[in-house]
Amino acid sequence: MTSADRPFGWLQVVRLGLVQAALGGLVVLMTSTLNRVMVVELALPALLPGVLVALHYLVQTSRPRMGWGSDVGGRRTPWIVGGMAVLASGALLAAAAVAWMPLHRTGGVLLAFAAFVLIGLGVAACGTTLLVLLAKRVPAPRRAAAATTVWLMMILGFAVTAGTAGHFLDPYSPARLLAVTAVVAVLAVLVALLATWGLEGPAPAAAAAAPGPQPHAPAGAGLRAFASSLAEVWAEPAARRFTVFIFVSMLAFSAQDLILEPFAGTVFGFTPGRSTQLSGVQHGGVLVGMLLAAAAGSRWRGRQFGSLAGWTAGGCIASGLALGGLVLAGLSARPGGHPLEANVFLLGAANGVFSIAAIGSMMRLAGEGRPGSEGVRIGLWGAAQALAFALGGLVGTGASDLAQALLASPGTAYAAVFGCEALLFLLAGWLAWRPLPAAGSARALPSPMQVST
């Protein structure tokens, strides 16, 4: 067995987790810290950072192309490191744009748009190929636990970067913002380089036969080869079904995010501090749900507790039921009359269960179908998630504003929005559990939700 084929152990998983933590640290600096600086220190409309964040998600619809490029080359680590370098460049450019805005607002805003395009491209290249490498090299029994490890390290990257950068940004000045961003960007690239050094091994010989542009191919051959590969993956029933599932579930997941704290403040009278604590309760539930799903998905003394089908569908259904509880809370609209914290904790736990189980399913399904197209599959699913996140915040907040304009009671308006999100989660649970038709097509694959690792 060559080094390019050897399964990853926990040390290799942790090394990839370090890359994910570095990626998360840079992203949270862009989407959280710069958001606050633009709105508070520069007194810009909150719509501007919202559009910039949505733009970086929309750019990530390029994930299938990134995955295809790594399929053709046969190696993922150059894409991981290169993507991190592009992300770091975009982060530096974004900080420079924010520093320039007080002097030349139009120029700074235009530069910020260019920077967030680079940020989206960097996340797409690095994040997609990292997941492909995990899916290809982590043995099936460890995939759920490996996914949990990598995601927890990403959350750790969020927390460490936000806390440390926040400390060094006080008192705020444009020069401090540039310096802190530069340090985080350089550290992220160094972590990616060191963590992936010698990790993957040489490209397998089979990569030479992968469909892709030849050295002297005519112009446009690469685009046609990519389009053909993407069409082949989309023609696989399981890959197509999973793409729809990812979009629906992530749309429901992201739509709830921006309205939960306003709901607690408007309907239940929570102070800003208490509503922030409520968000912490939700994230605590997500952590518990992730650990529960990872433990259930790993074999213990030869036993496995349930399948990915049950945990994914169950997590979606439980998320829908928890949102149903928030519907009741909005309709009752009585402070103290509903256990809101417990309800939100259960919602977070259900979200954590379905997300880790879905990642396990994704890693399992990535290797199904035509060999050499793993990157395109994971890229397709990543693009579906990015599109859902780009739309989710706009749909959730827009629906909330519309409902409050049409309905007399704020509680009833929020209940209507939460009810729609609950229905989306129930639809996602049905998609996760529903078996594929027993077609005679040679391309028909087993549903990813029917496969247990």
Asked if residue 237 and residue 130 are part of one domain, the reply reads no
| Residues spanned by the domain of 427 | 233-436+444-453
Banded model confidence at residue 190, pLDDT cuts 50, 70, 90: very high
Share of the chain above pLDDT 70, in %: 85
Quick check: is 267 in a domain?
yes
Q: What's the confidence (pLDDT) of residue 333?
A: 67
Q: How confident is the model over 276-291, as pLDDT tens digits?
A: 678 778 888 888 888 8
Average pLDDT, the chain: 83
**Dist. CA 288–CA 425, nearest whole Å:** 19
Asked if residue 269 and residue 189 are part of one domain, the reply reads no
Asked if residue 400 and residue 272 are part of one domain, the reply reads yes
How crowded is residue 331: how many other Cβ atoms within 10 Å of its Cβ?
A: 18
Rounded to 5 degrees, φ, ψ at 189 are -65, -40
**Dist. CA 283–CA 268, nearest whole Å:** 20
Banded model confidence at residue 400, pLDDT cuts 50, 70, 90: confident
Quick check: is 450 in a domain?
yes
Say if residues 333 and 411 touch (Cβ distance below 8 Å): yes
Q: Examine the pLDDT at 93 and tell me if it is beyond 60.
A: yes
Q: Examine the pLDDT at 123 and tell me if it is beyond 60.
A: yes
Q: How confident is the model over 348-364, as pLDDT tens digits?
A: 999 999 888 888 888 88
Q: What's the confidence (pLDDT) of residue 204?
A: 60
More confident residue, 302 or 430: 430
Quick check: is 217 in a domain?
no
Say if residues 127 and 192 touch (Cβ distance below 8 Å): no
Alpha-carbon distance values, 48 to 44, 105, 176, 323, 443 (Å): 7, 12, 22, 29, 45
| pTM summary value | 0.81
Quick check: is 147 in a domain?
yes
Final residue of a domain: which of 176, 199, 222?
Answer: 199
How many domains is the chain partitioned into structurally? Answer: 2
Over residues 374-397, the mean pLDDT reads 87
Quick one: tokens of 335?
Answer: 């402070």
Over residues 164-182, the mean pLDDT reads 88
**Dist. CA 340–CA 319, nearest whole Å:** 15
Q: What's the confidence (pLDDT) of residue 356?
A: 85
Quick one: tokens of 131?
Answer: 């997941």
Nearest in space to 250 (alpha carbons), one of 396, 108, 412: 396
Alpha-carbon distance values, 76 to 72, 136, 237, 377, 423 (Å): 10, 11, 26, 14, 38
Quick check: is 212 in a domain?
no
Q: Examine the pLDDT at 443 and tell me if it is beyond 50.
A: no
Asked if residue 248 and residue 193 are part of one domain, the reply reads no
Asked if residue 190 and residue 280 are part of one domain, the reply reads no
Q: What's the confidence (pLDDT) of residue 218?
A: 55
More confident residue, 403 or 190: 190
Q: Examine the pLDDT at 115 and tell me if it is beyond 60.
A: yes
Quick one: tokens of 160?
Answer: 């460490």
Asked if residue 240 and residue 195 are part of one domain, the reply reads no
Over residues 15-42, the mean pLDDT reads 88
Q: How confident is the model over 428-442, as pLDDT tens digits?
A: 999 988 764 433 333
Asked if residue 26 and residue 140 are part of one domain, the reply reads yes
Quick check: is 151 in a domain?
yes
Over residues 194-221, the mean pLDDT reads 63
Over residues 161-189, the mean pLDDT reads 89
Asked if residue 112 and residue 254 are part of one domain, the reply reads no
Amino acid type, 193:
L
Over residues 160-170, the mean pLDDT reads 81
Asked if residue 297 and residue 428 are part of one domain, the reply reads yes
Asked if residue 241 and residue 296 are part of one domain, the reply reads yes
Q: How confident is the model over 314-344, as pLDDT tens digits?
A: 999 999 999 999 999 988 866 667 888 899 9
Quick check: is 328 in a domain?
yes
Q: What's the confidence (pLDDT) of residue 83?
A: 96
CATH of the domain at 237: 1.20.1250.20
Asked if residue 157 and residue 259 are part of one domain, the reply reads no
Quick check: is 53 in a domain?
yes
Alpha-carbon distance values, 132 to 66, 187, 373 (Å): 11, 24, 10
Say if residues 372 and 132 touch (Cβ distance below 8 Å): no
Asked if residue 368 and residue 242 are part of one domain, the reply reads yes
